[in-house]
Structure 1
Amino acid sequence: MTTGAQALLRTLLAGGVDVCFANPGTSEMHAVAALDTEPGMRAVLTLFEGVATGAADGFARMADRPAATLLHLGPGLGNGLANLHNARRAGTGIVNVVGDHALTHAKYDAPLQSDIAGMAATVSGWVHLTRGPAQVAADTAAAVAAARAGQVATLILPADASWSEGAADEPAPVPPVPERGTGNPESLAAAAAALRTGEPCLLLLGGDATREAGLAAAGRIAAATGARIMVETFPTRLQRGAGRVPAERLAYLPDRAAQQLAGTRHLLLAGARSPVAFFGHPGKRGDLVPEGCHVYEIAGREDAAALTLAELADQVAGDATAHLAPARRPELPTGPLRADVVAAVVGALLPENAVVVDEANTSSVGLPAATTGAPPHDWLCLTGGAIGWGLPTATGAALACPDRPVWNLQADGSALYTITALWTQAREGLDVTTVVYNNAAYAILRLELAAVGAAGGPNARSLLDLDRPRPDFVSLATGMGVPASRAETAEELATALSRATAEPGPHLIEAIVPPVVP
């Protein structure tokens, strides 16, 4: 007879989910044991649940199919919530399997008993508790279908449903996922009319519109009508570089974003949310749409935004040709490192077809301009704003794309949240090059302290500094099996990046930079 754990793995594999990022415990031991009966599942051990969930996000963004996680009860899910939040905001599909106490044990209120479903609902589009082994295959198939539709799908698997026999011998078929639509025809017609007025129009792109096809359609529209193109602040996956349509990103800082949007009379949303400030600040508007600007949602987050843009381009662009970014790299700089100097080195050396995972935060100054003309590459961003995302996401992206170099541009403070991802990278032999900007500060919080008008003295400033002691990322990385070096000049950084690119496996470079915010 087949156990529930075996049915879980068989159905995941039949649904195309063949990678599982795991941090299991007692309740998941039968699922762990079943791995030996289902060798097609690649199980990847992480030392913290936030690494597992972030890696699943990175894998799905680059593979265009879900990965699974295996987490231990409510506390394990709690440790993974931040990166599940980021995945939800990205529209990333994940089959999030959370083990639970045996149903017969729940009445005892054991120490690890918790409301798993309640916690999962905050980050999941689909949540379900399996009641027994006979239901495992069908419930797993439903979870895979929900994940394929771009949702975090949390399947709660009680231990007795996992260990018991009585499950179906064959995997359950995955229900078909409806094709994504192309938005509202009335909004599309109104947007086309707005583009023909000659008034200032802005195309704000998100979802799959930030891939090459969506950008190409937007580029045709811009060439024919004079509309501007911009992508949301943190796109899920932005395809950019030489030979692709360049697009400015909406700024994180609300004052700068308001400047970018000023004067816009018609704002066309293609897979993007209407722009708002990340936080409410005293005396400032949270809604960034300029007063008097008309907003048209031509494609929602759940729609096929790229296809919608193609339809709009056919209506208004004729045979117009999009402007493409020319091949252009900055010269290699020299001298001491600063954030902008690091950007120039990255732009000069970024390999073709690279995947860039960007959690540089304040140190990202100069990166967009320095890499616009680099060879074609993918750029992944921190969609939900919950830090500690970069290292895990780079881990998952490297597993999804073993033939592509992955560069993780990483702020120091957020790196410390999930630094154990380096251990998984070493164990799996992943081609990830991590550049940690070590400025010994939470510089973004220094910025926010001033932005909200709070008067910070020495006690407040001490909570925003990382210099007593200053983290030693070279020691942290080598202690987890990742070769590491420190760079204080542009020349040292260029040498280290070239060496990391030439050698297989993970590498870390600690770039010593001054904080952008003093």
Structure 2
Amino acid sequence: MNGAQALIRTLVDAGVDVCFANPGTSEMHFVAALDDVPEMRGVLTLFEGVATGAADGWARMTGRPAATLLHLGPGMGNGLANLHNARRGRTPMVNVVGDHGRSHKRLDAPLESDIDAVAGTVSGWVRRSLAPEDVAADAADAVAAAARGQIATLVLPADVSWSDGGVVADPVPPRPRPQVAPSALEDVAAAVQGGEATVLLLGGDVVASEAGLVAAARVAAGTGARLLAETFPARMVRGAGLPDVGKLPYPPEVAIKALAGTRHLVLAGATSPVHFFAYPGVPGTPVPEDCTVHVLSAPGEDGVAALEALAAQVAADAEPELLEASRPELPTGRLTPRAVSAVVGALLPERAVVVDEAITSGVGIAELTSGAPRHDWLALTGGAIGDGLPMAVGAAVACPDRPVLVLQADGSAMYTVQALWTMAREQLDVTVVLYDNASYAILQGELSRVGATGAGEKAGQLLDLGGPTLDFVALATGMGVPATRAETAEELAEQLGTALREPGPHLVQAVLRPAG
């Protein structure tokens, strides 16, 4: 057995049975070994950013590490943006990055680079396998490290991959999730019962489960505390029968207003919020200066158990307020961002997985989908745009029995548009609503927010996606995905309804233009 065969068999035995790949010469023995371990599913992507984003989506929906196969340092570099998002979302992931053979490293070949340094920017665990006898044990350690909510990168020299001597390794037993200290529970209990304005900021495992949200709602009902979720949760369960938990807004002025007057901020699975960027005359965090921040559970700890214990202590008899089933009426007339949100809310299927990269076009989407049938919501955790289409690939591979709906802005779609080809090749049940406003609208807002005065025609050209206009119907159909174009609310409702009813991938280009 060569090193590659032992590596793949070890990954599968440890529960990693999907690999999103964009391989090159140094990974050919890994590719060949896929036929020797048929339990491993290899999914080809046409760009490394699609592979890393798809692994992120797969792991968010399964809770288990996914694998990627990347080609040397440049290949990993191409996937870095969505590895950044995965790191911010505490996604478990194992990267296998091929490298030159050990004797070839000293020759400084054209594709030679410092893979370990590139990997270290996003990985919590990095190791280089130095012998075929070691690679399986290294792989088992990588899976165990990833399972702790981080990216693990295993660098695999080509000759280690092709050489005999590989031996399959047993999985490393998982570590139990850390429990919250009793002192933290007592501190938070005193805060929420003190009668001062309190906000529970929820994230991580708390918003990913019904039990966590219901426990938080019990605390709110029993103490008067307000509930907010972190702005971009990795995975959040939503819909009828669950508490209505709004998200902390993204714009700094709105986030500051949302937390104004708060005396106690309790973190349950979330970190203390900061603005994405610095702005002139604006503090770096929306948390008021006179607010005390309490940590009930840090990311990675058992936040659900902590909230259930807190609810039992401070709100034993409280009944949580839960959403009743509701749908918006289908809109008519001109297509606006809010009209798109209403159509999505009216038609969202049961058990859908919603991947949200609508950016500025998602006006009203949270409000108009809150009472829809139960669904999961995946957000842009790290702010590096271009994760929407790849995450949908991963989510659809992970959950073939569930419809996946992507709310996708046009500018960010072009970062990883190659994901459409993988959707077609794998015949994934993914429907893309493509918000076409022909601009980087979020940057138009940021231009004024940062106080950049005097911006004129040249500045505007860097924020405008016109000339030529992007034709997403042509782009999608050219990669094998059926696509249509909607310019009114009625057209969108008809086309989206058809796309959701039919199996396989579809794209609906929702054309958003200013009134005039």
| Range class of TM-score, shorter chain | over 0.9
Partner of 1:26: 25
Aligned twin of 2:245: 247
What is the distance in 1 between the residues matched to 2:487 and 2:294?
48
Alignment of 1:358-507 (within 5 A): 358-455=356-453, 456-507=455-506
Q: Distance in 2 between matches of 1:291 and 1:278?
A: 18
Aligned-partner Cα distance in 2 for 1:351–1:88: 30
Say which of 191, 195, 202 aligns to 1:194: 191
Residue by residue over 1:219-254, the C-alpha shift from the partner in whole angstroms, topping out at 9 and shown as x without a partner, is 000010010000000001010100011101000101
Where do residues 216-231 of structure 1 align in structure 2 (5 Å cutoff)?
Answer: 216-231=214-229
Following TM superposition, by how much is the alpha carbon of 1:184 offset from its aligned partner in structure 2, in angstroms?
Answer: 3.0
Residue of structure 2 equivalent to 1:256? 254
Q: What are the equivalent positions in structure 2 for 1:13-412 lying under 5 Å apart?
A: 13-168=12-167, 171-210=168-207, 211-412=209-410
Unaligned runs of 5+ in 1: none
**Letter paired with 1:97:** V
Offset, 1:330: 0.4
- Deviation per residue, 1:43-91 (Å, 9 max, x gap): 0000000000000000000011111000000000000000000000001
Q: 1:195 & 1:17 partners in 2: Cα distance?
A: 42
- Alpha-carbon deviation of 1:287? 1.8
SS at match of 1:181: coil
CA distance in 2, matches of 1:17, 1:339: 39
Aligned residue for 1:69, secondary structure, equals: strand
1:509 matched to 2:508? The reply is yes
Q: SS state of the match for residue 105, structure 1? A: helix
Q: Determine the C-alpha separation between the residues in 1 that align with 2:476 and 2:466.
A: 18
1:288 CA displacement: 1.5
Looking at structure 1, the residues matched to 61 and 513 of structure 2 have their Cα atoms a distance apart, in angstroms, of: 33
Contact 1:54-1:393 at 8 Å conserved across structures = yes
Give 1:186 deviation, angstroms: 1.6
**One-letter amino acid of the counterpart of residue 476, structure 1:** L
Give unmatched runs, 5+ long, in structure 2: none
Q: CA deviation at 1:157?
A: 0.3
State how many pairs are aligned: 514
> In the aligned structure 1, how far is the partner of 2:462 from the partner of 2:153?
36
Tell me, what secondary structure is at the counterpart of 1:248?
Answer: coil
Structure 1 residue 183: Cα displacement? 2.2
Contact 1:440/1:515 (8 A) holds in 2 = no
2:83 match: secondary structure? helix
- Per the TM alignment, residue 177 of structure 1 is displaced from its structure 2 partner at its CA by 2.2
Q: What's the secondary structure of 1:154's corresponding residue?
A: strand
Structure 1 contact 408–433 (Cα < 8 Å) conserved: yes
Alpha-carbon distance between aligned partners in 1 of 2:87 and 2:113, rounded to the nearest angstrom: 22
Corresponding letter in the other structure for 2:298: G
Q: How far apart, CA to CA, are the structure 2 residues paired with 1:298 and 1:153?
A: 27
Instruction: State how far apart, in whole Å, the 1-side matches of 2:431 and 2:25 are.
Output: 34
What letter corresponds to residue 434 of structure 2 in structure 1? V
Worse-matched range after superposition: 378-387 or 308-317: 308-317
Q: 1:515 to 1:312 in 2, by over 3 A?
A: farther
Other structure's SS at 2:467 match: coil
Q: Indicate conservation of the 8 Å contact 1:445/1:464, yes or no.
A: yes
State the alpha-carbon separation in 2 of the partners of residues 188 and 477 from structure 1.
51
The alpha carbon displacement at 1:185 in A equals 2.2
SS of 2:438 mapped into structure 1? coil
**Structure 1 segments of 4+ aligned residues over 6 angstroms from their partners:** none
Task: Please give the per-residue CA displacement for 1:442-462, whole angstroms capped at 9, x wherever unaligned.
Answer: 000001101000021110110
Deviation digits for residues 360-396 of structure 1 (CA, Å, limit 9, x no counterpart): 0000110000000000000000000000000000000
Shift of 1:119: 0.6
Distance 2:305 2:179 in 1: 6
Per-residue deviation at 1:291? Answer: 1.7
Q: Report how far residue 144 of structure 1 moved.
A: 0.7
Q: State, as a whole percentage, how many aligned pairs show the same letter.
A: 63
> How many Å separate the matches in 1 of 2:150 and 2:88?
10
Counterparts of 2:90 and 2:464 in 1: how far apart (Å)?
A: 33
The 3-state SS of whatever aligns with 1:295 is strand
Alpha-carbon distance in structure 1 between the residues aligned to 2:17 and 2:273: 37
- Aligned mates of 1:183, 1:234 — CA distance in 2: 23
Secondary structure of the residue that 1:56 maps to in structure 2? helix
Residues 363, 515 of structure 1: 8 Å contact kept: no
Aligned partners of 1:182, 1:209: CA distance in 2, in Å? 14
Q: What secondary structure does 1:249 align onto?
A: coil
TM-score w.r.t. length of structure 1: 0.98
Alignment-mate amino acid for residue 439 of structure 2: A
Distance apart, 1:514 and its partner CA: 2.9
Instruction: Supply the RMSD in Å over aligned alpha carbons.
Output: 1.0
Looking at structure 2, the residues matched to 268 and 280 of structure 1 have their Cα atoms a distance apart, in angstroms, of: 24
Q: CA deviation at 1:515?
A: 6.6
For residue 37 of structure 1, report the CA deviation from its aligned partner: 0.8
> What's the CA shift for 1:179?
1.2
